[in-house]
Amino acid sequence: MPAASLKLFREYQSFPQGRNGFKVGMKLEGVDPEHPSRFCVLTVAEVQGYRMRLHFDGYPECYDFWANADSSDIHPVGWCEKTSHKLLPPKGFKEGEFNWTSYLKNCKAQAAPKSLFKTLSSPVTPSGFRLGMKLEAVDKKNPSMVCVATITDMVENRLLIHFDNWDESYDYWCETSSPYIRPVGYCQETGTPLTTPPGHRDSKAFSWEKYLEETNSQAAPARAFKLRPPHGFQVNTKLEAVDRRNPILIRVATITDRDNHRVKIHFDGWDHHYDFWVDADSPDIHPVGWCDETGHALQVPLGAEDAEGAVGQACPTPGCQGIGHVRGPRYGTHYTLVGCPYSDVNLSRENLLQDRLSGERPSPGSILQKARRLETPGPLQGAREASQGDSSQSRKSAPDSEKWCQSSIHTPSEQSEDSRERGWGEEDSSAAIKATPKTLGCSHAYIKFQLVKQESNGKGPDLDLQQALHQSIFMPSLASNPSHRLHLFWEQHCRLLPEVSGLTAKQVAKWTVEEVVGFIQRLPGCKEQASVFREEQIDGEAFLLLKQNDIVKILSIKLGPALKIYNAILMFKSAEDN
């Protein structure tokens, strides 16, 4: 099959003019992909060729994301102040107290040089769009829907689209020529259903004229919309594409389907149920040879050559070499189905990683509201297929809940797996009680540490046990004399679960399956659950990787025993660190 023609790729998708000059530890400002209206303090955590992994200062590594060095979503230190954008500071800073100069000094960090950031080669021409103007826009997370929307920000030739009365997680940036935005009245002219703002009092008889008057706003002028022509990518041509389930990787890919503005990506040698739709202008697709040119590793098709050079350990999923992890970049490898991004259990599992800014699970009401939005019929073909990969990212904002956070950044080789489990709101105890900061983060004292709010409904002794265990693990790092308090709390913890006393993660990692089974049998109230660990062949190393959701949902263990087992794992890891 031929390679996709180079001329079809946008400038930022094609071969870059220079090298990636960003270095690990450099600090910058940038857009949060999950909250596109928010500009945040970021640190370069890893560099791979022309790509880099960016870390939100003060937050766990599970929220890190990958970007190209010429991304339009990243900016130099001071850009927000210069352009009158609000900068969201690292976790723990109060409104107005963050200052870049003192922050860089306290962190002993370097601001990324301004010369590294992309500048537009041509000046921005006036587009006719203005802040606050209304339009009709496709919801990219649910692409069958066209909704009432507002322009809430403008940067160079890009617009931030916000859906009226919906939370910011649905917002997105697009160019003025995007096929996803249309003038007011487009739906009426084309017979397309228009999704009105939730809670609007007259949704069935929606009138743009009345709505513009009610909201004291203007419609974006029709002349401003200059729809770009359909892309020229052809089916059965080759390219290189970022693996969205495991974004540290770029794979050899084939275009298997197309519409006017999207292509369907298939990774060569993989089953078609891993295929996904992506916008033709996505920064995650590149011409053949891009990895070689930029110095990025390229994952060859399954069966093309022997996998002797695999970085990770053997994974049961066919074709997976154990690289990456379903819970993000903090843990670099896996060798069980529980951690595999491609295992059936994780493919069908909705991404309920807690919202970085709210830290709470969606309320039942917000889930129903989201479900109704997904079910609304619409005219766009391929919408249901496209939304499978994206709708899982949708979530409603909840009130802020303070969390433990750590400012230091670790490479995957240094890490134990991140334990901020989906929907549980916990972090690895080792993250909370390490006294020595890593080189990339600020000092332990400089980033303010705050207490986890426990979700407790007061039912039964197991939740009280969980609270006591959490206190015994996490409270020491808030104490004025951590080492003394740690000893006292540890004694309390060992009384709650005496079976773990004297054991460390290093010792547990060497356990056989039968030794794990024997340990589970000795935990109070867990004897019946021990057989599950034998059936699943969980040895010491795999045992230490388990998280609460794995134990409850995948191993089908009841909540009470699961809490004891998981907290035993936390204690092993904490004993290792101390």
pLDDT digits 0-9 by tens, 309-318: 444 456 888 7
If you compute the radius of gyration of the chain from its CA atoms, what whole number of angstroms results? Answer: 25
Q: Quickly state the pLDDT bin for 482 (edges 50, 70, 90).
A: very low
DSSP 277: E
Q: 3-state DSSP call for residue 148?
A: strand
Helix axes 460-474, 482-496, angle to 10 degrees: 150
Residues written for the chain: 578
Distance of CA 105 to the CA centre of its chain: 29
Provide the H-helix boundaries in 382-434: 383-390, 429-433
Average pLDDT of the chain to the nearest whole number? 76
Least confident piece of the model among 65-69, 112-116, 407-411: 407-411
Residue 403 has pLDDT above 80, yes or no: no
Residue 372 has pLDDT above 50, yes or no: no
- The pLDDT assigned to 381 comes to 37
Q: Judge contact between 63 and 328, C-beta under 8 A.
A: yes
Q: Quickly state the pLDDT bin for 554 (edges 50, 70, 90).
A: confident
Burial of 268-292, coded b for 16+ CB within 10 Å and e otherwise, reads bebeeebbbbbbbbbbbbbbbebbe
- The pLDDT assigned to 203 comes to 66
Residue 432 has pLDDT above 70, yes or no: no
> Mind listing the pLDDT tens digit for each residue in 228-253?
999 999 999 999 999 998 899 999 99
Of these ranges, 225-229, 371-375, 387-391, the one predicted with the greatest mean pLDDT is: 225-229
Q: Judge contact between 39 and 85, C-beta under 8 A.
A: yes
DSSP 477: G
Residue 406 has pLDDT above 60, yes or no: no
Above pLDDT 90, what percent of the chain?
Answer: 44
DSSP 554: I
Q: Judge contact between 150 and 132, C-beta under 8 A.
A: yes
Q: 66 burial class (0-12, 13-18, 19+ CB within 10 angstroms)?
A: buried
Q: Judge contact between 391 and 142, C-beta under 8 A.
A: yes
More confident residue, 16 or 365: 16
DSSP 299: B
Least confident piece of the model among 39-48, 206-215, 322-331, 431-440: 431-440
**Whose structure tokens read 């035993």?**
568
Provide the H-helix boundaries in 376-440: 383-390, 429-433
CA angle 534, 418, 503 (to 5 degrees): 55
Structure tokens at 474: 């996490």
How does DSSP assign 181-223, residue by residue?
EE-TTHHHHHTPPEEPPTT-TTSTT--HHHHHHHTT--BPPGG
CA dihedral for 127, 128, 132, 138, sign (positive or negative): negative
- The pLDDT assigned to 393 comes to 38
Q: How far is CA 465 from CA 421, 458, 561, 564, 567, in A?
A: 19, 11, 11, 8, 10
**Whose structure tokens read 């920064």?**
283
Cα separation, 513 vs 249, whole angstroms: 32
Residues 6+ apart with CB under 8 A from 119: none
Cα separation, 396 vs 377, whole angstroms: 21
Q: 3-state DSSP call for residue 55?
A: strand
> Mind listing the pLDDT tens digit for each residue in 124-138?
666 799 999 999 999
- The pLDDT assigned to 334 comes to 79
Q: Quickly state the pLDDT bin for 462 (edges 50, 70, 90).
A: very low
- The pLDDT assigned to 68 comes to 96
CA end-to-end distance (rounded Å), the chain: 57
> Mind listing the pLDDT tens digit for each residue in 92-114?
888 788 999 999 999 999 999 99
Q: Judge contact between 23 and 81, C-beta under 8 A.
A: no
- The pLDDT assigned to 448 comes to 31
Cα separation, 212 vs 207, whole angstroms: 9
- The pLDDT assigned to 576 comes to 67
Q: What are phi and psi of 487, to 5 degrees?
A: -65, -45
Cα separation, 38 vs 312, whole angstroms: 35
| Ramachandran area for residue 552 (φ above 0: left; ψ -120 to 50: alpha; else beta) | alpha
Q: Quickly state the pLDDT bin for 552 (edges 50, 70, 90).
A: confident
| Ramachandran area for residue 254 (φ above 0: left; ψ -120 to 50: alpha; else beta) | beta
Q: What are phi and psi of 190, to 5 degrees?
A: -100, -5
Structure tokens at 55: 């870390």
Cα separation, 519 vs 22, whole angstroms: 47
> Mind listing the pLDDT tens digit for each residue in 167-215?
888 999 999 999 999 999 999 999 999 999 988 877 678 899 999 999 9
Q: 3-state DSSP call for residue 459?
A: coil
Q: Judge contact between 547 and 325, C-beta under 8 A.
A: no
Residue 139 has pLDDT above 70, yes or no: yes
- The pLDDT assigned to 378 comes to 38
- The pLDDT assigned to 407 comes to 37
Q: Quickly state the pLDDT bin for 225 (edges 50, 70, 90).
A: very high
